Structure 1
């Protein structure tokens, strides 16, 4: 195993600090058959931690994210998010096409109770944060795919949540745009945790992907789910320094190792 990776349960990293997200023996079944999509998932995410959930299509990654977002309820087990409702960013931008970029963000700010002037100023700040300064009055159809995802990220951040849930948000983008947004997300996450200081909770990210290199590039910890039912098969703590490049030797080496484990889980599912 590469020296950049250590395997250990999440609880070892938390100590006495209250986790930002806790899943305790969570299972989820659908339909009359009652066959589980997720089975006995126990996972903790520390304040300020970046965790990637990795697995083959259909292993329950998105289902798990929906449970944490309180969009659905587990069949058994419990989920705790002490900071309140988590912010969720989808694979599709889900922007309202009849609104401008700025007004899409302001909707989230309005739900927080901010006044009109405050909303405008905060939306401008968030657009600057995602490198879209000056785009407040642009309509959705005027924005590229990458720009739309930046607005969607700004809208998620506008919810001022301590936990950001991301469901394959860059999967539909071309490789270069995805690479740039990896850099931006890493910067925003690092800046949020640096500015929070010791007194703040920081920004925890739970990021779903089936792209191994994306997971290794972004995460402090990669959690591999088995296929149908989804169980935690293995996890890796990624000690490579940030910022990382997706083509770097360290990312490539770890990606090969994790890919082999992913292939093994897929083969095991096919055999059964």
Structure 2
């Protein structure tokens, strides 16, 4: 008796799907052109490119903060959480209260907010700073509070717009480790914008390089199992080609 073949399991639907997405402001030049990209659930994707290539514009489109002028974008019905370059914490609130505010806006009952805020601070290794206000925290600590606040929104997708760009190299490296640990612990889908090749290669499972003016996908790299020194060299060389092409 012949055993019928077993069908392979279906791949999960993308967490984020962009199909032929374009963006133009009024009669101005095209900012983004024909961007098609699938991002899997729990995938960590870095969007890389020179300044002005449309990385942040693309992130805003995924977040629903702006609308594309061409193509379609599919995201989870629960929406996305957004983390900016600046921590944007309420200066008169403590770290815990900043997170409780996000929980309140999400509709979490008052009785649960305090404990949940401390749990989120523990995720980013900042429980000891729960009762400190932003001016009492270092830049790196403020960004960790901002990350905990983004996690408090409990969205399946986390969008991060150069959140570590203003930090010194040592603090940035430490936060890379923190973010990788949080990502593994929470299973969030992360789309991370950066202009730093090393940061992209270190953090992302996949690096997407955007060309400049207009922004198009100029290259993609998988980082799993790659020699990061070689990978960074390859990405840097392609980035330089794009910059030279744009300057010509």
Hey, what does 1:209 align to over in structure 2?
A: 194
Of structures 1 and 2, the larger Rg is shown by 2
Listed one character per residue, the Cα deviations across residues 163-190 of structure 1 (whole Å, up to 9, x for unaligned) are 0000000010011100000000001111
Hey, what does 1:41 align to over in structure 2?
A: 35
Hey, what does 1:247 align to over in structure 2?
A: none
Pairing of 1:55-204 with structure 2 (within 5 A): 55-193=49-187, 203-204=188-189
- Aligned residue pair count: 240
Q: In the TM superposition, what is the alpha-carbon distance from 1:15 to its structure 2 partner?
A: 5.6
| Residue pair 1:100, 1:136 contacting (<8 A) in 2 also | yes
Q: Measure, in 2, the Cα distance between the counterparts of 1:132 and 1:16.
A: 37
Hey, what does 1:245 align to over in structure 2?
A: none
1:26 aligns with 2:3: no
1:257 aligns with 2:234: yes
Q: Measure, in 1, the Cα distance between the counterparts of 2:126 and 2:69.
A: 41
| Residue pair 1:149, 1:169 contacting (<8 A) in 2 also | yes
- Name stretches of at least 5 consecutive residues in structure 2 with no aligned partner: 1-8
Q: Judging changes above 3 Å, is the alpha-carbon distance between structure 1 residues 30 and 260 closer, same or farther for their aligned structure 2 residues?
A: same
Q: In the TM superposition, what is the alpha-carbon distance from 1:153 to its structure 2 partner?
A: 0.2
Q: Measure, in 2, the Cα distance between the counterparts of 1:160 and 1:240.
A: 31
- Normalised to the residue count of structure 1, the TM-score between the two structures is 0.86
Q: Which runs of at least 4 in structure 1 moved beyond 3 Å after TM superposition?
A: none
Hey, what does 2:224 align to over in structure 1?
A: 239
Listed one character per residue, the Cα deviations across residues 41-61 of structure 1 (whole Å, up to 9, x for unaligned) are 011100010000000000000
| Residue pair 2:85, 2:165 contacting (<8 A) in 1 also | yes
RMSD value over aligned CA atoms?
1.3
